[in-house]
A and B are shown apart, each in its own frame.
Chain A
Amino acid sequence: MAENEKDTEKQTDQPESRAPRRLLRSSKDRVLWGVAGGLGDYFRIDPTLVRLAFAVSAFFGGLGVLAYLVMAVVVPEDDGSGQPKPGRRPPIWALVLLGLAVLVVLPGPFWGFHDGWGGGGWWGWWFGPLWLVFLIVLAVVLIRVIRGRPPRFLRGTRRDASSADASEAPTAEAGEGEVTTAVTEVREGEPPRWVRGIAIALLILVAICAACCVAVVAAWATATGHGAVVAGVVVALGVAIAATAFIGEAKRLAPWLLAAALVLGLPAGATAAADVRFDGGIGERQYRPVAVADIPQDGYDFGVGQLVVDLRDLPWAAGQTISVSSELGVGQMVVSVPSNVCVVGHAKGKAGDLLVRGDQSEGIDPEVDQGEPRSNAPRLDLDAEIQIGQLIVTNQDPDEVTGHDRDFDRDSLTDESQRQACGL
């Protein structure tokens, strides 16, 4: 008898084993979108292990979170019978969050900088992408709470109270009993009003943070010479918004597209209008030419960080003028010359601090002009420009005025040798 039952099970199992198994998001075993539950079903492993794998992978550049979001959008949901649920489209907010997740893996300010300028910390390599991933997951949870479908770990007391109400209801007439049951179904899993209020406030905060992140990316891309890409996206969004005017079903997309266009377009426009340029590299760069031919024709150009141009090894001769132009986006630029060299020329910035051999200018649009020398000393004709930061032209060793761990003595930059060299 038992053998017959086994044979029958084998016969019934055979057709199922031949049919390819489908990867579906679980509708029963889910914390967010059922991706881990679906993978657990598909590979016949404990879904908790899959969730742990996703959590651990989040610490490796956030790629696991990105994979989860992609699967949440791409993989169809199980209708409960092992078949995909028909007519289910990914929600718009899921696509928006997916777009944000893609931004996480792109290089940019999210990744931070290892050494030097910026110095890691909150913006460091490991925690740079993770904080945005945290925002995305928080937003998902909050949206579900607001929609009355909180994740399992947030469900609780309200459902019990509703069930208690329902169990007391049968004392009324049959018609009222139906109404009570309907109300119970609506309230099932719904969080208390104060929880929804906090969730809405937090969601607004998350949305503002996410918008700021995207705005920073847009401004950063524009400043690093990729503004055409941002502008192209803004044009595409504008065309898409105009297209929604003709398609009734797409009307709900318009606010999202408009928000994205404004968050991208306004910072990019402001960056372009301010003419902020960070192209040229990031980090620390040091140049120490030993011959005039070593100085680049188009000058030194650096994006963000620390630029040191040490000109002390050049063969300076009396009456000789060496021209050097140098440009920096954000950070500190140090130009070092021998004591007997008279620095002439022009230095300017958009905001920051200029210290040119004793002359100083700081604040917005700082500018230093060195007058004509009256001596026959070797001259440096400097044309220096910084966007935001500090320019130091000194006769000291660059190491004396740079360094991450100490503030240099500004008074030591008061340079009498400049007056002597220029005969002023």
Chain B
Amino acid sequence: MRAVRRPDVFQLAVGVAIALLGILLLLHEEGTIDIDGGWLAAIVTGCAGAALLASGLGAREP
């Protein structure tokens, strides 16, 4: 039976964070939300934090 390969958690988190950033930019362009400097800083910091957290959790797994 073929073993199922576990996904790379760090890459997955980074991908989701980048996609989220793109979706927020799209919503801003559509006029649904209004991103200002504070929002952008919070989004980027949040994305970086999520990626680092996923990296740390991934490193702890055997």
Contacts and interface: CB of A to CB of B under 8 A. Distances in A.
Contact of A238 (B5, B21, B37, B44): B21
Nearest to B26: A231
Interface of A is mostly: helix
A242 interface: yes
A258 B23 contact: no
A234 B15 contact: no
B26 A228 contact: yes
Interface string B14-44: 1111111111011011100001110110011
Interface of B is mostly: helix
B7 interface: yes
Contact of B8 (A238, A251, A258, A275): A251
Contacts of A231: 22-23, 25-26, 28-29
Contact of B19 (A235, A254, A266): A235
Interface of A: 227-228, 230-246, 248, 251, 254, 258, 261-262, 265-266, 268-270, 272-275
Given A231-B23, A235-B23, 6 more contacts: A236-B22, A245-B7, A246-B5, A246-B7, A269-B44, A272-B40
Contacts of B23: 231, 235
B12 A245 contact: yes
A254 B43 CA distance: 21
Given A273-B36, A273-B40, A241 B22 contact: no
B50 interface: no
Nearest to B9: A245
Contacts of A234: 18-19, 21-22, 25
